[in-house]
Amino acid sequence: MSKNNLKLLDFSLLMSVVNFLLFHIPFFSFVFDNVDCKKFNGIVLIISLILVMVIANTFVFYLLCFISRFVGKILLVLTFVINSIAVYFINTYSIIIDESMIGNIINTNYQESSSFFSVKLIMYIIVLGIIPSVYTIKVRILNVPLRNFLITSSCTLSFLVCMAFANAANWLWIDKHSKTLGGLAMPWSYSVNSALFYIHKYKRNEKEILLPDAVMKDNEKTVVVLVIGESARSENFSLYGYSRNTNPLLSKVQNLYSFEATSCGTYTTAGVKCILEHRYTDELYEILPNYLFRHNVDVIWRTTNWGEPPVHIKKYQDKENLESHCKGKDCDYDEILLTDLKEQILKSTKNKVFIVLHTSTSHGPLYSKKYPLRFENFTPVCTSVELGNCSQQELINAYDNTIIYTDYLLYNVIQYLEQLKDYKSTMLFVSDHGESLGEKNLYMHGIPISIAPKQQYEIPFIVWVSEDSKKLKSNNISLSQHHVFHSVMYFLGIQSPIYNEELNIFR
């Protein structure tokens, strides 16, 4: 028999072993870190996981190639290439590819995804993806009779069932760590979770659920600016006790309050949805800008980011819309969101104005590219997309510079609002989630919130109010992102059956 000729079972087993050896070091690193390898039960669990992973993948590859060798090979090639990319991100950024991370990936635009490009990524694709794929394409798979296929399949399934029951004592451990195990098993991490993401997304977006009608209580001229931060963690704001002065401007502003707060999730889509909805729910209820727009509030949405729920308003302005009115090098950064902001408010024909500025200032991995050079107060900075190659101090320096730039942006928003003497005004700054900067060897964000470190969910919630405006309740309380919806409603003087006084920060 030619060395390029393999029986279907041999080929499937070989592909499964290659898949196991190349792409499951992170999986078993986690297992070894969380299992007592000195105990008999721990040894049984590890051996069982190895056998189940190899045999289960063998069965799937065997089934696919029996149905169609051509389709099976194409899917195997895609598996190796995608696996190589997935393992690169797992090894480089310590991520877990669960359903929420799939949503993060799908909602990433070209500008963000291109920032992850590196020579190391290309090497992963070539060595772990393309080289095994070349062999996969070249090998000739020999036919197998249907009877042999059925016998092999039956025996394999029976073995897997027996292994499951033999590990009944470990079911609780597996269930406890199922999200992490599922997020590190290739190719099931991204294939199963992608399917789950689209199924759940379809169910959520079948129809937006309208909230009950509201009533405008007064015609007083009022403006609210909600600034949605990106990857800003409160730990690095001097307003929250950070040793570095990352808030040199805001620290001097009167009527400014900072609250302890936590995010609903550790990725953009979950965080932004939570900021804009009236309560935590998996359903797609009418979000704040849509609700206010429907009740005759002048709503303006400006963004250099993405990942928000569907926004149904007339004045939706992304970076491309704002570029034509912005001049200078700073238009390449989030300052573009402030272009003619005061003028747009003054042109409004309505007494109630609500503005959302959705920033991208602190999003990694290239923090050093998120601010103009004049804000580079802390040096040296990390300039690599492979954050593990930088010292933690270089990484923190670059990130802290983004917080200084955020401080500058928020200060300018306040300056604009202070000039609007005919309006009662407020600015709320709330981040979508936090960020890991190498603590416990974790980077960026997206870890499931049930196991995420505090750096990924402890966020700033900063509020400024104009003179003679509404006062705030005590800021010695911890807030959630849902406080935004009800606080904005109260400040604008809008009464609704879904309003919750307990989630209002104003008195």
Instruction: Break the chain into its structural domains and give their ranges.
Output: 5-204, 226-503
Q: How far is CA 309 from CA 284, 290, 354, 437, in A?
A: 8, 10, 17, 28
Residue whose pair of structure tokens reads 């690599």 in the numeric block = 384
Task: Report the 10 Å Cβ neighbour count for 278.
Answer: 21
Taking only the tens of pLDDT, the chain with its 507 residues reads 455 788 999 999 999 999 999 999 999 888 888 888 887 878 888 888 899 999 999 999 999 999 999 999 999 999 999 999 999 988 888 888 887 777 777 766 666 666 777 888 899 999 999 999 999 999 998 888 889 889 999 999 998 888 877 776 676 677 677 778 888 999 988 888 888 777 766 666 667 899 999 999 999 999 999 999 999 999 999 999 999 999 999 999 999 999 999 999 998 989 999 999 999 888 889 999 999 999 999 999 999 998 888 999 999 999 888 988 888 888 999 999 999 999 999 999 999 999 999 999 999 889 999 999 999 999 999 998 888 788 999 999 999 999 999 999 999 999 999 999 999 999 999 999 999 999 988 888 888 888 889 999 999 999 999 987 778 887 778 999 999 999 999 999 999 999 999 999 998
Report how far residue 503's alpha carbon sits from residue 484's, in angstroms, rounded to the nearest whole number.
Answer: 8
Report how far residue 343's alpha carbon sits from residue 396's, in angstroms, rounded to the nearest whole number.
Answer: 37
Topology (CATH) of 226-503: Alkaline Phosphatase, subunit A (3.40.720)
Q: Judge whether 300 and 469 are in contact, CB under 8 Å.
A: no
Q: Judge whether 353 and 223 are in contact, CB under 8 Å.
A: yes
Beta bridge partners of 298: 353
Q: Judge whether 385 and 225 are in contact, CB under 8 Å.
A: no
Beta bridge partners of 356: 226, 301
Report how far residue 372's alpha carbon sits from residue 368's, in angstroms, rounded to the nearest whole number.
Answer: 9
- So what's the pLDDT on residue 15? 94
Angle (CA) 38-160-36 rounded to 5° is 10
Tokens of 157: 């399934």
Measured N-to-C along each axis, helices 8-23 and 40-67 cross at an angle, to the nearest 10 degrees, of: 130
Reported as half-sphere exposure (CB side, CA atoms, 13 A), residue 270 has a value of 26
485 Cβ neighbours under 8 A, 6+ residues apart: 275, 276, 277, 278, 288, 503
- So what's the pLDDT on residue 382? 93
Q: How far is CA 195 from CA 201, 271, 310, in A?
A: 10, 22, 21
Tokens of 331: 């238009």
Reported as half-sphere exposure (CB side, CA atoms, 13 A), residue 255 has a value of 19
Of residues 328, 319, 351, the one with CA closest to residue 422:
351
Angle (CA) 390-22-52 rounded to 5° is 125
- So what's the pLDDT on residue 1? 46
Q: Judge whether 311 and 297 are in contact, CB under 8 Å.
A: no
Q: How far is CA 461 from CA 64, 161, 274, 430, 478, in A?
A: 51, 50, 14, 5, 10
